[in-house]
Amino acid sequence: DDAASRYLSKNPLSFEQHNRARQSMPGGNTRTVLYCEPFPITIAEGDGAYIRTLDGHEYVDFLGEYTAGLYGHSEPIIIDAAKKALDGGIVLGGHTQLEQQLAELLCDRFPSLERVRFTNSGTEANLMAMSLARATTGRNKILVFHGAYHGGVFVFAGGGSPINAPFEFVLGQYNDIESTLELVREHASDLAAIVVEPMMGAGGCIPAKAEFLQGLQDAATDAGALFIFDEVMTSRLAPGGLQELLDITPDLTVLGKYIGGGFSFGAFGGASRLMDHFDPHKPGSFPHAGTFNNNILTMSAGYAGMSRVFTSEASRELNQRGENLRHRLNEICKAAGVPMQFTGRGSMMTVHMREGEIHSPKDAAQANSDLRELFFLDLIDAGVWLARRGMINVSLPMRDAEFDKLCAAVEEFVSVRKPLL
């Protein structure tokens, strides 16, 4: 329709770029999530809360690199820290003070972390946490949830993925404690871990009920399995992550995204009785390698960001602003009387084209996906960049002007598209 044809006519250079990229990368793509029909727009640069495309259009960046873009594009403290680190050499091949500083800060901030180890991505960190659970319990099964996302080889939406890591997964229903407890009972003697996002991120910003998480923790403990929080996205929702807000301390926590200051990052950590299996002092300790685990850009930018920019106070403030924004957006939907809502917590939210409570990906799947596609196209036409799946993330450089722009675009959408909604 009109929205699709405007997309084509506004982005001729991105189209050309896409065709060129297809010559060397399958589908012109190296991150599946960034592909879309008929072709994805090429980003040229970013500044503060804004991005500009190859075709010269400017957008408020509400995609925020799927939560990794918390600091925006040009936070001076991050840039200074990275530059200073670069001045001291790039690949040092040894322990540095930088990695100890970041590790110490993370252990101070996140209640479950007594010890932590770094990786290059959240995917890799989940792989390590699940492998640690298998090695310490001597069991093979991992309980995860339908619709969850724990990385490129841990996709549990739809029918899963043929290239998922070959763990023995058992799939539960998110926020449904009764059926999950049944699964735990059925598999108890083989269960190595329960892995859960305390709010589903990619699955649609669906918060877990506190009783659900508490029930999972009790069941894991009773079964002798580890309870693992994947806080790759949710760690930004409070100074000590959602675990602090919910007052639940998992055995292991997986981190990622913004914590590296915008550079590639992953980490897993938890109780020292578990993590000390990686202590090389100890006979029979587990190996854990990774050339870039302690790379100086991630370590320096991560430490500068968490210690001087995204302080506990800044975390609380950002998430309060996100909470206010989500309420404002929901008021717009309510006032227009359209079946549409924004779920989430704090600085993360996702639009769903339906009314009624959403507690699981199954609930979310009842919404109209064509309308969500139209929402995406209309919003980018209005200068608002967001995830195609309807996810919106608030970043630190955003102020009222950016929030007003988003709200105006949503108001326009609900009034113009009301007959379709």
Burial state string for 183-195 with b = 16 or more CB within 10 A and e = fewer than 16: bbeebbeebbbbb
Q: Does 268 bind ligand PLP (CB under 6 A)?
A: no
Q: Does 197 bind ligand PLP (CB under 6 A)?
A: yes
Least CB distance to ligand PLP at residue 359 (A): 18
Q: Does 119 bind ligand PLP (CB under 6 A)?
A: no
Rule CB under 6 A: choose which of 17, 121, 294, 350 binds ligand PLP: 121
**What is d(CA 6, CA 3) in angstroms, rounded to the nearest whole number?**
5
379 or 391: whose CB is closer to ligand PLP?
391
Rule CB under 6 A: choose which of 233, 301, 392, 421 binds ligand PLP: 233
Q: Does 66 bind ligand PLP (CB under 6 A)?
A: yes
Least CB distance to ligand PLP at residue 233 (A): 4
42 or 298: whose CB is closer to ligand PLP?
298
11 or 67: whose CB is closer to ligand PLP?
67
**What is d(CA 183, CA 186) in angstroms, rounded to the nearest whole number?**
5
SS3 402: helix
Rule CB under 6 A: choose which of 99, 176, 230, 378 binds ligand PLP: 230
Handedness of CA 66, 235, 162, 178 (dihedral sign): negative
Angle at 301 between CA 296 and CA 124, to 5 degrees: 70
Question: Residue 162, preceding bond cis, omega within 30 degrees?
Answer: no
Q: Does 201 bind ligand PLP (CB under 6 A)?
A: yes
Q: Does 229 bind ligand PLP (CB under 6 A)?
A: no
Question: Tokens 């403990």 sit at which residue?
Answer: 221
Write the binding mask 136 to 155 for ligand PLP: x where contact by CB under 6 A, - elsewhere: -------------xxx----
SS3 166: coil
230 or 363: whose CB is closer to ligand PLP?
230
User: Segment near ligand PLP (CB under 6 A), from 132-140, 195-203, 243-251, 271-279?
Assistant: 195-203
Rule CB under 6 A: choose which of 72, 122, 390, 397 binds ligand PLP: 122
Rule CB under 6 A: choose which of 266, 322, 346, 397 binds ligand PLP: 266
Least CB distance to ligand PLP at residue 67 (A): 7
Q: Does 202 bind ligand PLP (CB under 6 A)?
A: yes
Q: Which of 70, 345, 112 lies closest to 230, judged by CA? A: 112
**Run of H or E including 345:** strand 341-345
What are the backbone dihedrals phi and psi of residue 281, each rounded to the nearest 5 degrees, phi first?
Answer: -60, -30
Neighbours of 284 (CB within 10 A): 5
**Run of H or E including 336:** helix 312-336
Token couple for 235 = 């760690």
Interface residues with ligand PLP (CB under 6 A) are: 66, 121-123, 126, 149-151, 197, 201-202, 230, 232-233, 256, 266
